[in-house]
Amino acid sequence: MSGDNIIADPSQDAPVFYLQEEPHHQPGTLLGFWIYLMSDCLIFAMLFATRAVVGSNFSGSPLPKDVFDIKLILISTFCLLFSSITYGFAVLQMQQNKLDGTLLWLTITGLLGAAFVGIELYEFSHLIHIGASPQSSASWSSFYALVGTHGLHVFFGLLWIIVLIAQARMYGLTVANQRRLFCLSMFWHFLDLIWIGVFSLVYLTGVLL
């Protein structure tokens, strides 16, 4: 605590000290965000468990190995994984206080994430068109619930990236903006980890069985 913020009251026999201003406490943003990620883990854990239980209940609907376009899914997977790398470059540029570099890598990250979401929407449209809709079986219901929830998270992450780019352009790499960039970094890498699980459980298992 700085001595400049403390004054003594000379009217008292014993020295009594008062603070000129309230001590500043750093907001617990990062801690709160970790708590949010843990709650998100519980949501995905339930969706993964549901998929594992009912994943083989097709009841006459198309089988995954007959309808999954694994090459297209690999492209979307690489888009999301590479977007995690490009976000890491954005963080490195931010730590060097390079605004233009940070914005560039954030934009590239957003474009890769948008490509991932676009491929997923195309996949959903194609599957529904050929009869693998959420209503066709319990297995496909769990598929759309799990993959769709992840895709929705990526979509909101894209909105967050757009907001951060706008804030960084307006105010620069302030302490608050850097903290927001770190929070989004945790969120984006978390989505990558979840997608690895989705890809392994849903797509690889689906085409091999």
Distance, in Å, from the CA atom of 93 to the CA atom of 177, rounded to the nearest integer, reads 13
Residue-level pLDDT at 26: 52
Does residue 4 have a pLDDT over 80? no
pLDDT greater than 70 at residue 2: no
* CA pair distance 209, 204, nearest whole angstrom: 9
Q: What is the pLDDT of residue 59?
A: 80
Could you report the per-residue pLDDT of 112-159, keeping only the tens digit for each?
Answer: 999 999 999 999 999 999 999 999 999 999 999 999 999 999 999 999
Domains of the chain plus CATH, in order, are 27-55+63-208 (1.20.120.80)
What does the mean pLDDT of the chain come to? 89
pTM: 0.85
What's the pLDDT tens digit per position in 52-103?
A: 999 888 888 899 999 999 999 999 999 999 999 999 999 999 999 999 999 9
Q: What is the mean pLDDT of residues 181-204?
A: 96
Region 34-52 average pLDDT: 95
Query: How confident is residue 20, by pLDDT bands cut at 50, 70 and 90?
Result: very low
Task: Find the range with the poorest average confidence among 8-17, 22-31, 68-77, 157-166.
Answer: 8-17
Instruction: Please say whether the dihedral angle defined by the alpha carbons of residues 122, 126, 127 and 128, taken in this order, is positive or negative.
Output: positive
What is the model's pLDDT at position 58? Answer: 84
Please give the pLDDT value at position 32.
87
Say what percent of the chain tops pLDDT 90: 78
Share above pLDDT 70 across residues of the chain, in percent, rounded to a whole number:
87
Q: What was the pLDDT predicted at 15?
A: 52
- CA 176 – CA 174 distance, rounded (Å): 5
Q: Could you tell me the CA-to-CA distances from 62 to 50, 145, 157 in Å, in that order?
A: 19, 17, 32
Question: Which two three-digit tokens encode residue 122?
Answer: 């195309």
